[in-house]
Amino acid sequence: MMSKKSINCSVVKFVAGVTLATALASCSGSSTTPTTGATSPAATKTTAATEPTKEPAKAPSNLSGNITIDGSSTVAPISKAVAEDFAKSNPGVKVPVGTSGTGGGFKKFCAGDIDIANASRPIKAKEAEDCKKNNVEFVELPVAVDGLTVVVNKENTWAKCLTVAELNTMWSPDSEGKITTWDQVRPDFPKEPIALFGAGADSGTFDYFTEAVNKKSKVIRKDYQPSEDDNITVKGVQGSKGAIGFFGVSYYEENAKKLTAIEVDGGKGCVAPTAENINSGKYAPLSRPLFIYVSKKALARPEVKAFADYYFKDLKVVKEVGYVPLPSDAVPKILERLSTVKTGTTFMDAPAGVSVAELLAKDLK
């Protein structure tokens, strides 16, 4: 005679044959593993909650080729970081980044030898003329804002802030062989010998500093220690109590434990080279935009256009490498230049202290 439990199971089996395994498991008190396709909605929901669906990795692009970049050592860390990220989804495209200095980069760029020039200053009239002679049209694209940082030795306890006039006293060609100790800069400073270090003549940092401090680009006393390698400036300032030097704010941040950054008085009080002060223009006249110049001819190649677009896709890399991101009101204007391939310059010969957004609004020449 069948038990009541067996009868009930038979009924379940008859009514819900599609769930036979589950019904029998209930009757016998044992558990079975559901067959494929029999997973209940509740089980599916639980799995989804504990294991979120991941976006599938994007397949590598079919782009290939070489994109040649050279120029400013100041801008190089940005371009290198962008190139590394770009290579992850575009492994067929090689993007070597050279560092021959802004002037050296423009020489190659205007000769048609490279696709993109990194520049820590705007293109000069003579360079633009060279580009024109060689039929090299270019799109001028600001990528970040930088502040030139004036640094002293950690043992320097007297120079907390210097005026632009005092910097001129130290770096002017007229001071060569005459201004040799700190007390000649300001009477209450100690009679400590001055040792001067800074960027070399091919550097955009050199051009910008001399223009801002000495009122004329490339004009400087000749008895300072120039170098295209900022690390040599760091070591030089480290090695002498009375030393002073200059380079971009990002390089200072890398070496903040070794050197002291001084504040600069541009006429409205002492201002530190912080990101906020640099971006607002308060840190004048030693704040500046950084650029890439892209050849119009090169932009016609799909890999170059893709790279240029990618450069502005996520500018958080600018902050990651130590520079100040562009003000938000400037970015749409830059993207418009790139998307419409607007050639020419609005930054050439611009006075120090004018905002990026203001200069982008001017007519290209």
Q: pLDDT for 52-75, tens place per residue?
A: 444 455 667 789 999 999 999 889
pLDDT in tens, 89-109: 999 999 999 999 899 999 999
Six-digit token string for 1: 């005679």
Contact 33/25 with Cβ under 8 angstroms?
no
* Mean of the per-residue pLDDT values of the chain: 85
Query: Residue 181 forms beta bridges with which residues?
Result: 193
Provide the CATH number for the domain around residue 73.
3.40.190.10
Mean pLDDT of 25-37: 41
* Average pLDDT for 257-277: 93
Distance (Å, whole) CA 3 – CA 57? 58
For the record, the structure tokens of 347 come out as 């930054």
Domain range enclosing 321: 65-146+289-360
Paired residues of 195 in beta bridges: 243
Q: Indicate whether 119 and 152 sit together in one domain.
A: no
101 and 115 in a single domain? The answer is yes
Task: Give the 3-state secondary structure of residue 134.
Answer: coil
- Report pLDDT for 203: 82
Quick check: 80 pLDDT over 70? yes
Last residue of a domain, one of 280, 314, 348: 280
The mean pLDDT of 270-287, rounded to a whole number, is 86
Specify if 57 maps to a domain.
Answer: no
Question: Between these two residues, 279 and 84, which has the higher pLDDT value?
Answer: 84
What is the b/e burial string over 4-19, where b = at least 16 CB atoms within 10 angstroms of the residue's CB? Answer: eeeeebeebeeeeeeb
- Is there a domain that residue 76 lies in? yes
* β-bridge mates for residue 145, sequence order: 289, 324
Reply yes or no: is the peptide bond before residue 285 cis, omega within 30 of 0. Answer: yes
Q: Is the pLDDT reported for residue 177 higher than 90?
A: yes
Last-in-domain residue among 221, 251, 280: 280
Q: Give 287's pLDDT tier (boundaries 50, 70, 90).
A: confident
Beta carbons of 306 and 63 less than 8 angstroms apart: yes
How do 65-66 and 93-94 pair as beta strands? parallel
Domain count, the chain: 2
Residues 161 and 262 in one domain: yes
Q: Which of 286, 218, 280 is nearest to 252 (CA)?
A: 286
Q: Which residue has the higher pLDDT, 22 or 82?
A: 82
Residues 119 and 130 in one domain: yes
Task: State whether 168 and 250 are in the same domain.
Answer: yes
Tell me the Ramachandran region of residue 127: left when phi exceeds 0, alpha when psi lies from -120 to 50, beta otherwise: alpha
Percent of the chain with pLDDT over 70: 83
Residue that the structure tokens 């020039």 belong to? 117
Which of the residue ranges 35-44, 171-180, 196-205 would you say has the lowest mean pLDDT? Answer: 35-44
The answer for residues whose C-beta is within 8 angstroms of residue 218's C-beta and 6 or more apart is 201, 206, 207, 210
Q: What is the chain's length? A: 365
Q: Which of 255, 246, 63 is nearest to 164 (CA)?
A: 246
137 plus 165 within the same structural domain: no
pLDDT at 11: 39
